[in-house]
């Protein structure tokens, strides 16, 4: 029943009551006046609430936009940091084959002067040089693929993505004397952004590398496992770097939280890792074992 109809009915009651009892009519009029005043006050409150709700919505929209901008900036910073690391890796990975090709060129001249160059020699040299060049080309392809921005989702195997990461980080892992032990079912597939998934794995491996160096661990090992269970895909990354400080482990996925000394870490890597997992409808958690940090990613199986 609307407020207007209610007021009309009350006025009719007042008019009827005047015919029978003036005092009753006065009391009913008092009630009616009180009711009308209350309705006016309620309308004021409703309008104020509507105004505050609109202002609150505006603030939420602005806050959401700022959060989106912040996440975009953090993602860009993370990508630029990875790009710097990857460019160093390209230099490392190309150094060895270029040295080999240069050495073979010098050997060819010397062997030619010594008359030991024949068709078999040239064939072996040609095969070896092509092998080195092919290695450089495949490495460059992996880096170009990693750097190329992509919003395209696709179906890919976890093993294939991990193999690409191994190529990208090959020299860094050798330099850091790290054993990477991979146990991944070759049939497990994920539908999503392959580059982002590789970025996620690189972030977790780099986190372990930093922990190894910060704690000066000599025997270094990272175990990466992937398996399916109860319609979920589980990815585990475990190192033997001694674990994460209990004071920060609960906040380790927050932006700007780092276990590294001041000036040596941005706190972006693990934050972005969680954002990438969430983007793919998954969760990521970490806890300490008797060996080190144990990251577990759980992804829901999806179909294309």
CA 214 vs. chain centroid, Å, equals 24
Helix or strand run (H / E) with residue 300: strand 293-300
At residue 295, the pLDDT reads: 96
Instruction: Give the separation between CA 41 and CA 283, rounded to whole angstroms.
Output: 49
CB-based contact 167:202 (threshold 8 Å): no
Number of residues assigned to the chain:
304
Instruction: Give the separation between CA 157 and CA 167, rounded to whole angstroms.
Output: 16
Going by C-beta distance under 8 Å and a sequence separation of 6 or more, which residues neighbour residue 207? Answer: 269, 270, 293
* DSSP letter assigned to residue 240: -
Helix or strand run (H / E) with residue 227: strand 220-229
Give phi and psi for 211, each to the nearest 5.
-65, -40
Residue 253 CB-half CA count within 13 A? 18
At residue 102, the pLDDT reads: 79
Pairing label, strands 220-229, 232-239 = antiparallel
* DSSP letter assigned to residue 105: H
Instruction: Give the separation between CA 40 and CA 96, rounded to whole angstroms.
Output: 84
> What's the whole-model pTM score?
0.58
Residues of the chain with pLDDT under 70: 1-39, 41-43, 45-46, 48-53, 55-97, 135, 138-139, 141-151, 255-268, 302-304
CB-based contact 238:295 (threshold 8 Å): yes
Torsion-angle region of residue 231: left (phi > 0), alpha (psi -120 to 50) or beta? left
- Which of 281, 287, 285 is CA-nearest to residue 299? 281
Token pair for residue 261?
């000394």
pLDDT in tens, 26-61: 555 565 565 566 667 666 766 766 666 676 666 666
Task: For 101-127, give one letter per residue: b (16+ CB within 10 A) or e.
Answer: eeebeeeeeeeeeeeebeeeeeeebee
CB-based contact 271:218 (threshold 8 Å): no
């Amino acid at each position: 029943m609307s407020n207007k109809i209610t007021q009309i009915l009350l006025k009719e009651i007042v008019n009827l009551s005047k015919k029978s009892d003036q005092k009753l009519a006065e009391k009913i009029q008092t009630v009616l006046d009180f009711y009308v005043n209350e309705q006016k006050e309620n309308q004021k409150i409703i309008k104020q609430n509507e105004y505050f709700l609109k202002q609150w919505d505006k603030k939420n929209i602005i806050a959401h936009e700022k959060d989106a901008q912040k996440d975009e900036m953090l993602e860009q910073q993370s990508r630029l940091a990875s790009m710097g690391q990857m460019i160093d890796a390209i230099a490392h990975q190309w150094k060895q084959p270029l040295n080999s090709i240069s050495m073979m060129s010098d050997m060819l001249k010397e062997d030619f002067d010594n008359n030991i160059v024949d068709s078999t020699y040239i064939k072996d040299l040609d095969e070896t040089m092509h092998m080195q060049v092919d290695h450089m080309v495949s490495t460059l392809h992996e880096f170009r693929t990693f750097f190329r921005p992509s919003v395209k989702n696709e179906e890919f195997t976890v093993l294939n993505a991990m193999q690409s990461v191994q190529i990208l980080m090959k020299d860094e892992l050798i330099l850091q004397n790290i054993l990477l032990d991979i146990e991944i079912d070759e049939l497990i597939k994920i539908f999503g952004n392959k580059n982002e998934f590789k970025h996620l794995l690189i972030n977790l491996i780099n986190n372990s590398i930093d922990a190894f160096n910060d704690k000066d661990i000599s025997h270094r090992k990272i175990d990466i496992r992937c398996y399916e269970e109860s319609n979920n895909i589980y990815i585990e990354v475990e190192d033997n770097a001694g674990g994460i400080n209990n004071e920060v482990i609960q906040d380790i996925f927050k932006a700007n939280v780092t276990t590294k000394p001041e000036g040596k870490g941005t706190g972006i890597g693990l934050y972005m890792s969680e954002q990438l997992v969430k983007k793919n409808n998954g969760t990521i958690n970490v806890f300490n074992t008797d060996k080190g940090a144990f990251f577990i990613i759980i992804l829901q199986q999806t179909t294309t």
